[in-house]
Amino acid sequence: MKELSVKEKMIFGNLKDDSVKALLSLNDNLKIESVLMVYRDWITACVSVMVGCPLGCKFCATGKMGFQRNLSSKEIVDQIAFWNNYLQPMKKRVSRLVFMGMGEPFLNWNETQKAIAEISIPGKFNISYQQMTVSTVGIIPEMYKFADLKSKINLAISLHSPFQEKREQIIPIAKKYPLTELMRFCGHYVKLNNRKIFFEYALIDKFNDTFEDIFAIKKLFGSSLFHLNVIVLNPTGGKYKGSGMGRRETFVRALEKYKIPFTIRRSLGKEINAACGQLVTQTAQPSRPEEQNLN
């Protein structure tokens, strides 16, 4: 078996609980985290592209680590190989892939693109472009390059507020790449590719969960190919808190009323700090797949 560039330090959680997180050591002893999410019909790997992240989004634990370095394409690919080795005792494998772990893919696009090319080699991992999703906060110059590829890879954009001023408060890079330019790109992308764009929207209590936000989203969404992925903000120890059940239900009913295309996303891995925005290197008690049961 080929030696991997990522090595297990700790495993968090159990497959029977729908998610597992791995603390992985690199050859220079830096650490990253990678997550496995188990659904009824498939298994998704959430991979990292950086050690830490330079963007400092206010609701994301990874940003608090700061940025140490980009991952190589091999270190990205080897996260999938690691998870397939982990799943092998149960005769399971990774079947979908999201670039939503540590780091911003479009700030390490050369290595991420190399990794995607290797992952998609027929017969290697059996993960097609359509089964991959690249997530970004909106690094617009690289996004135009991505659009020009006319790839079948899914694109997800961290929106989190339909207002420029509020978006700047939680996503500092939005000052450099404003919402007007981001939405101009989105119009270009759907015209060029005729593919859906997924907008990630973490509900933050009394910050982005009001009727005013609904009306602004409705105005922003100028294409039937724009789709909102709604999830309640996961706890990260910062000042922002997730919306309560009542506010969430009111928000969802308003989305339905105003016919805004949306999906309510399940939040897997909160208990092991493996959910969206929670990845930050730490330690936990090990748990091996031989002790677990997917049924």
Please list the active-site residues: 33, 276
Other Cβ atoms closer than 10 A to 167: 23
Please report which helix (H) or strand (E) contains residue 156, including its range: strand 154-158
Q: Which DSSP string corresponds to 196-246?
A: -EEEEEEEBTTTS-SHHHHHHHHHH--STTEEEEEEEPPP-SSS--BPPHH
Phi and psi of 90, rounded to 5°?
Answer: -100, 5
Residue 175 CB partners (closer than 8 Å, separation 6+): 168
Q: Rounded CA gap, 277 and 36, in Å?
A: 15
Integer-rounded Cα Rg, in Å, for the chain is 19
Q: Rounded CA gap, 156 and 28, in Å?
A: 31
Q: If DSSP states are collapsed to H, E and C, what string results for 232-273?
A: ECCCCCCCCCECCHHHHHHHHHHHHHCCCCEEECCCCCHHHC
Q: Rounded CA gap, 63 and 58, in Å?
A: 8
Q: For residue 38, list its beta bridge partners.
A: 43
Residue 74 contacts residue 5 (beta carbons within 8 Å): yes
Residue of 174, 130, 180, 172 lying closest to 155 (CA atoms): 130
